[in-house]
Amino acid sequence: MAGKTYAIILAGGAGERMESPTPKQFLKLAGRTVIEHTLAAFENHPRIDGIFVVCNPKYRLLMEELLLRSPLKKIVKVLGGGKSRMESSRAGVFAVPEDDAKVLLHDAVRPFVSARIIDDCIDALDRFVAVDVAIPATDTIIEVNDMACIASIPSRSRLQQGQTPQAFQAGVIKKAHRLAAEDRSISVTDDCGLILRYGLGDIYVVRGENKNIKITHTEDLFLADKIFQINTAQADVRIDLSLLKGKSVVVFGASQGIGAAIAYMARAHEARVHGFSRTTGVDVADAAAVEGALAEVMRQEGRIDFVVNTAAVLRFGRLMDRRMEDVRAEIGTNFVGNLNVVRAALPHLAPSRGSIALFTSSSFTRGRALYSVYSSSKAATVNLVQGVAEEMAVSGVRINAINPERTATPMRTENFGQEPPETLLDPKNVAAATLRTLLSPFSGMVVDVRLTDRHCAA
């Protein structure tokens, strides 16, 4: 039987380099503290069995208060850290009860670690005793002497910039720390350095990611905020859509295109689906109509688990050439409609700890000429999702934005005419990705659906 896998989150920083009275791991970013974002990455990963938090004893009460108001369930212990990173990692390593476990040590101030990096680290420990994460160095690295003059310029082709997590077989990293405790000449600053120093085995390097930044300086917070604005995920194809069986699913915009595909696929997996659209008398721009539709579903089902809004309109033209009534109508469907759906759905989803899926488009990162109203509405939708995700985190309600590439829908054909079929997504792929997102644990994300992805149910 395979041993457990633990994450050790190193949160011992005191904020000196940030020049802030509050340590950087407790600063707010996108509505939550930095460390909450980091913990969520491991909490939501299905292969992580438990999480140890190592923090500065001075901030232990703050850490405990934060955990008390959060929905995190995998926290095993909160441990006092030492004066150095090595002392803090030692405290976490020796708290792991099993020597056959896998442990991932991660900086609390790297909130953008991806599920892919975590998976690669765990998998590599089947073959290696230690794993590091790194990205190729893009800048020339110079070595300077005591006079602040260049002593050497190493070849960049063999240099990489280390990140975290660093991952280890528990028994091996414990041995390394025992040896280090008896070594007065030790000057190693990280755990992989201990493995290398004492020759305990090969250290495999997993490919990191540029966005897996460490928030160290004030300007890093501005960069992190931008990353959150454009952060994307992919639906986990391992999620079995049979989990939809018996769930109550509401789809707005269900008469055609992606909405119709979502409703059809959910019914095929025995969900109880209620579809609404303007053709059935429910315009998402009409708050009362949306509230009435959801109230009727509650009357029939007694609960609502998932709500999807695919309703959208796409209009062409320069802003100055369009009538304001037409602009207001487009905003009414594409953005106000999302506000109406979210406001009406949240009270019904709180008891079921359910999920909402809204739709954006690739144009949300940059406004498109001749489609400025549509693209700005999609950008606003992403901001809505991110804000509501933070507001509803404690209640357990999740909300995400689906971002499909060009999809073969009647709306697209109406606006762009005939296009080569091989360049367009099948609505079934988008439907499968949406349903898997509804079943996923993450929230506040933009979920990309690409032509190369395979989201369709078997």
pLDDT tens-digit map of 421-448: 888 899 999 999 999 999 998 888 899 9
Low-confidence ranges of the chain (pLDDT < 50): 1, 458
Are the C-beta atoms of residues 47 and 104 closer than 8 Å to each other? no
- Paired with 446 in beta bridges are 232, 401
Q: Give the model's pLDDT for residue 173.
A: 98
What residue type is 323 in one-letter code? R
CA separation for the pair 34, 20 (Å, rounded): 14
| Residue 458: predicted pLDDT | 44
How far apart CA 435 and CA 312 sit, in angstroms, is 19
DSSP letter string, 115-154? HHHHHHHHHHTTT-SEEEEEEE--SPP-EE-TTS-EEE--
Q: What is the reported pLDDT for 427?
A: 95
Place of tokens 């008398």: 281
pLDDT at 187: 79
Predicted local confidence at residue 1, as pLDDT: 47
Quick one: pLDDT at residue 230? 73
The pLDDT score that the predictor gives to residue 451 is 86
pTM over 0.85: no
